[in-house]
Amino acid sequence: MELDNKEEPVESSSPMPNNEEDALLVDQRAAKRNGVKKILRAIWKYCKANMLLLLTILSVIIGLFLGLVIRTGEPSELAQQIIAFPGEIFLRALKMIILPLIVFSLIAGLGSLDIKVAGALGIRTIIYYATTTVLAVILGLILVLSIKPGSVHIPSNDCNNNTHIATNTLDIIDSIFDLMRNIVPDNLFTATYSQTHTEYYYVVDWTQCAKDLNISNVTSLSCDEIIQNINSTEMCTTIRQKSVNSRDGMNILGIITFTIAFAMVLSYLGEDGRKIVRVISILNDAIMKLVVIVMWYSPIGIASIIAGKLLEVDSLTDLLQELGLYMLCVLLGLFIHACLTLTVLYIIFARSNPLKLVRGALQAVLVAFGTSSSSATLPVTIKCLEDKLGYDKRVTRFMLPVGATVNMDGTALYEAIAAVFIAQVEGVATDFAKVIVIALTATL
């Protein structure tokens, strides 16, 4: 019996195309699947690398949504406090690490620099900060004098708002003196929680007032008896006096001054000074780890802050009617200053693409939007510039703490607009001399 030596045909595990068109179709489908997988992997990689940024953006949207929705239910004061409480904890956590962050970052940055390099960096920093602040003030004055938001202000019918309140306006000289006093604090420990501030108060010269009112035997009366004989002080002359007091708030400027001087002295000490700088650099790295931990709480905190602020407003309609044009003036000034003035300066001097800086620092921008605090945003700004943009730590740790205190362009622009806006509401003419005074005061 002969055996059949013919081999059985091997079945293919996958169907083979019958012609070239089917083969091309299969290849196209495979390429399409691979392309989709690559896109999904790229999206996941980006989301994973920027998870905190995306969560922060989402928190801003959620905060706005919750604030607008919850206020329709007219929540109680207790409910508003509960909603805003996580945001308060977030702000307190950021402010808690500001002091050690400023001290350690400045010493770690300046202590590793040559004294001549540090001096040149300091001069450039001061010139840049002064220039941008002056430009912000000029822009604010141009906008408020052109738009005139106070000329269409709607007066309030609330009787409680008709009470005259004397303003505590500082003279330019006193503002300069206060600035110098804060730069050189008399006590470094009190500088961690208080600032020097000049306050004005008015006193009545009772003896002269009694003479003006023709009260007899003035010289033989005591001060209390003179006061009892005067029924009204409307005809009395008041004397403005001033005193240098302290007010709550960390004197960051004084702390920065001492820290810079201390860091420069360490650079003179040679190897012994570098040992101390290395120890402080380790402490600064530990503080930055704390910043990372706090920042993962930021989405909850920012959403809470935004929702809480929206709930604090009694009526958004009345607010927009009374201050809508003023708000538009401020926002327009901030937009022009950020997107035009600072962008042009960055392109001219840095010769780089500003969009790269914006993308890297977007986390800090969102935190600043939610907290409205330069100091509270400082830890996030340092982390963004060093980790995402790769800036030199010696530069960032010097310029950013100083800038958070000195370079407040938004505040200077806002104060210039606010001063002229109030004058327009009250019908006070603002001539060129008054505009110059406002500009100097806002700059200082």
Task: Write out pLDDT tens, residues 133-172.
Answer: 888 888 888 888 888 776 655 544 444 433 333 444 557 7
Cβ neighbours of residue 72 under 8 Å, at least 6 residues apart?
Answer: none
Phi/psi of residue 237, nearest 5 degrees: -85, 130
d(CA 372, CA 288): 21
**Long-range contacts (CB closer than 8 Å, 24 or more residues apart) made by 321-329:** 321/154, 322/153, 322/154, 322/156, 325/147, 325/149, 325/152, 326/149, 326/150, 326/153, 326/417, 326/421, 328/147, 328/149, 329/143, 329/144, 329/147, 329/149, 329/417, 329/421
Burial of 310 (0-12, 13-18, 19+ CB in 10 A): buried
Q: Enter the tokens of residue 120.
A: 């040149």
| Overall pTM surpassing 0.75 (yes/no) | no
Neighbours of 28 (CB within 10 A): 10
Count, in order, helices (H) and strands (E) of the chain.
19, 2
Phi/psi class of residue 199: alpha, beta or left (left: φ > 0; alpha: ψ in -120 to 50)? beta
Residue with tokens 């929206």: 310
Query: What is the β-pairing status of strands 194-204 and 238-248?
Result: antiparallel
**Cα angle 145-150-153, degrees, rounded to a multiple of 5:** 155
Terminal Cα-to-Cα distance of the chain (whole angstroms): 114
Neighbours of 153 (CB within 10 A): 18
Query: Which range, of 1-5, 218-222, 365-369, averages the lowest pLDDT?
Result: 1-5
What letter would DSSP give residue 339?
Answer: I
Neighbours of 279 (CB within 10 A): 13
Q: At what angle do helices 77-96 and 374-383 cross, to 10 degrees?
A: 50
The pLDDT of residue 162 = 37
The pLDDT of residue 222 = 56
Neighbours of 146 (CB within 10 A): 8
CA-wise closest residue to 402 among 23, 124, 39: 124
Query: Which range, of 58-62, 227-231, 326-330, 364-368, averages the lowest pLDDT?
Result: 227-231
Whether the per-residue pLDDT at 235 is higher than 70: the answer is no
Mean pLDDT, the chain, integer? 76
Grouping H, G, I as helix, E, B as strand and the rest as coil, residue 8 is coil
d(CA 178, CA 170): 10
Cβ neighbours of residue 161 under 8 Å, at least 6 residues apart?
Answer: none
List the beta bridge partners of residue 200. Answer: 242
The pLDDT of residue 10 = 47
Q: Rounded mean pLDDT of 333-362? A: 86
d(CA 71, CA 308): 10
Whether the per-residue pLDDT at 27 is higher than 70: the answer is no
Whether the per-residue pLDDT at 19 is higher than 80: the answer is no
Residue with tokens 């019996």: 1
CA-wise closest residue to 147 among 409, 337, 324, 341: 324
pLDDT range class, residue 206, cuts 50, 70, 90 = low
Q: Rounded mean pLDDT of 286-299? A: 84
d(CA 83, CA 290): 25
The better pLDDT of the pair 300, 209 is held by 300
- Cβ atoms 70, 312 nearer than 8 A: no
Phi/psi class of residue 431: alpha, beta or left (left: φ > 0; alpha: ψ in -120 to 50)? beta
Q: Rounded mean pLDDT of 367-378? A: 76
Burial of 195 (0-12, 13-18, 19+ CB in 10 A): buried
